[in-house]
Amino acid sequence: MIEGGRLRRALLGTTATVVLATALVGVAPTAVAADARSQQWYLDAMGVEDIWKKATGAGIKVAVIDSGVDPDTPSLKGKVLKGWDASESKGDETDDYRGHGTSIAELIVGSGAQGGIRGLAPNAKVIPFRVSDTELQNEQAVNAFDMAEAIKAAADSDAQIINISMASDYYNEESREAVQYAQAKGKLVFAGAGNNAKSGNKKQYPASYPEVVAVAATTRDGVVADYSQHGEAIDIAAPGTEIPGYCDESLTKYCVTDGTSNATALASASAALIWSVHPDWTGNQVLRAMFESAGRGDDWKPGTVSTKAGHGVVRPNAHINRGIGNPGDPNISPLTNEPTGGAAAGSATPSAAPSATTSEGASTAPSATASTQAPDGKPTSGSAVAGSTESAASTEDGGSATGIVIGAVAAVVVLAGVGVVIARKRRTA
C-alpha cells in the first residue's frame, strides 16, 4: 500500500546508539593523518577488495550537485567531466567554494593518489553541477532557482546517478518537478536525509520527495546515528561518521567529518558499483537490488521498512559477490511501487554529453519558480534500526567539512513584472 507517495513504514523495536556531536552543532572537525585512506574504515568493513575484483564503477557517471568539484586534486585527476555552474556566481563548477563538493566526489570516485581519499567506485566518473549555499547567497548575487535547474540539467546529462548531499527545510514545487523529470529520464537520485534529528527532525528536501532515495547515516557500530533525520521518507542508510573529507575550501588537508552528506556519497557509489556490473538494468532494478541486499538487524521483520534506516544499510558486496537482491520489474519504482515510464537506465539520452574537465559549464537548464509551502502529510513514527555494511560498519552524520550549513535567506526574483519571494534554507546533509 502506498501512503503519501511512499511505501508504508513499519515500526521496529531497536533504538539508535548515541553518537558524538557533529560539526553542524559547533564541534570542529578533527584533522587526520596525511594518508586519508588509513581513515577509511568503512571500505574494509564493506569488503572492497572483494568488490573491486568484479566491480569498480567503470562506465557509470555520477552527477554531483554541490558546492563545485575541483578536478585538480591528486585523487580526482582524470575523473571529473564537464559540468555546469547553476549558481551563476563567480567562477564555475570547478571552483569549490566550500571544499564540500570535492570531498563528496572523492568519496565516490577518488583514486587515493598521494594519500588522498579512495572512492568506493574508483573507476566511475563525476559530473559537477554547482549550486549555492546561504553564505554564498549572502555574499553575492546568485541564481535563485539553481537547485531545480541543476537537477534538470543533471537529468539531461550522461549521468545515470544524481548525488545531492544538501538539504533544505522547504518543499519546493520546481525542485519536486525536477526530480520527477529525472526519474522519468531513468536516473537514480540520492539525497541526504539531514543531520538535525535532535533539533526538531524536520523533513528535509529534496530527500523527502517520493522520487528521491533518502539516505540516513550510520556509525562504526552499524547503527543509525542519533543526529540522522528519521521518518517515513528514509529509504536506505550508509556509513556517515568519522569519514575523511577536506577541512575547508583550501583543499590542503583532510579532517574527520560526520553527516548524511557522506552517507549519500557512499550510497551513490554503491549504486554505481551495482550498475557497472549490470549496465543493461534500469535505475529501478539497481535500486531494488540495493534494497534487497541491504544489511538488517536480526529482529528485522521481513517486508518492513524502518523509519530510521529504511530498507537497511548498503551492502554492495552482498549483491555483487553473493547474488543477494533481485532486479525485478524494470519499469516499477521500488520507492513507490508505481510505474516510472522512464528510459532504459544506464543509457539515458543526454542533451549535451559532458567531456572535458576544466572548461566552463555548459548551457542551460529549464527555468523554474519556487514554492515554500510543504505538502500536507504526517511522517510515520518509528524506532531506530540497527544495520550493518559488510561487517559491523556504518557511520553517522553531522556536517563539518562535509556539511555546508545553509541558513535562511530570502531572494527576490522578478518574473514578468511580479515579485516572487523565495525563502531559502539549505544545508549540507
Q: Where in the sequence numbering do the catalytic residues fall? A: 66, 100, 261
At 286 the three-state DSSP class reads helix
Cell numbers of 45, please?
A: 568493513
Cell numbers of 136, please?
A: 554564498
DSSP letters along 308-363, please?
A: TTBT-B--HHHHHTT-------TTB-TTTSSB-----TT-PPPSS----SSSPPPP
Q: Which residues contact residue 76 at a Cβ distance below 8 angstroms, ignoring those fewer than 6 apart?
A: 69, 70, 102, 105, 106, 109, 110, 111, 126
Q: Which amino acid is at 385?
A: V
- With vertex at residue 72, the alpha carbon angle to CA 66 and CA 73, rounded to the nearest 5 degrees, is 80
- Eight-state DSSP code of residue 382: -
Query: With contact defined as beta carbons under 8 Å apart, do 19 and 227 qualify?
Result: yes
254-257 and 30-31 beta bridge pairing:
antiparallel
Q: Which helix (H) or strand (E) holds 175?
A: helix 173-184
Bridge partners (DSSP) listed for residue 237: 216, 313
Query: With contact defined as beta carbons under 8 Å apart, do 18 and 225 qualify?
Result: no
